[in-house]
A = this chain, B = another copy of it.
């Protein structure tokens, strides 16, 4: 499997890169991600589980039953790729 295929195995699923992009601005809570991205709640829960298992993000416990999601170093390392893709997307206008 190529390096690109390996990357897509982790962040190639729908919404995955958008979630990571949102977290580049700092830790976010579940409800914030949901509202900002417009992602279906079950998909968001699934992606967060997968991305956590892949070591891309971690859960930060906050008060009582709330938590925030934050990128790990591996997640932060996606910044370059995300910026490059977003720049390409911007050129389509």
Question: How many of chain A's residues touch chain B, expressed as a range?
Answer: 20 to 34
Query: For the complex formed by this chain, how many copies does it contain in all?
Result: 2
B17, A89: Cβ atoms closer than 8 Å: no
User: How many whole Å from A12's CB to the nearest CB in chain B?
Assistant: 7
Please report which residues of chain A, range 78-93, place their CB below 8 angstroms from some CB of chain B when the two chains form the complex.
Answer: 78, 80-82, 84-92
Q: Name the prevailing secondary structure of the A interface residues.
A: helix
Q: Which of B18, B81, B88 contacts A5 (CB 8 A)?
A: B18
In the complex, 6 of the A-B residue pairs with CB atoms within 8 angstroms, ordered by the A residue number, are A7-B88, A8-B17, A11-B85, A12-B17, A80-B87, A81-B87
Which A residues lie at the B interface, using CB under 8 A? 2-8, 10-12, 14, 17-18, 21, 74, 77-78, 80-82, 84-92
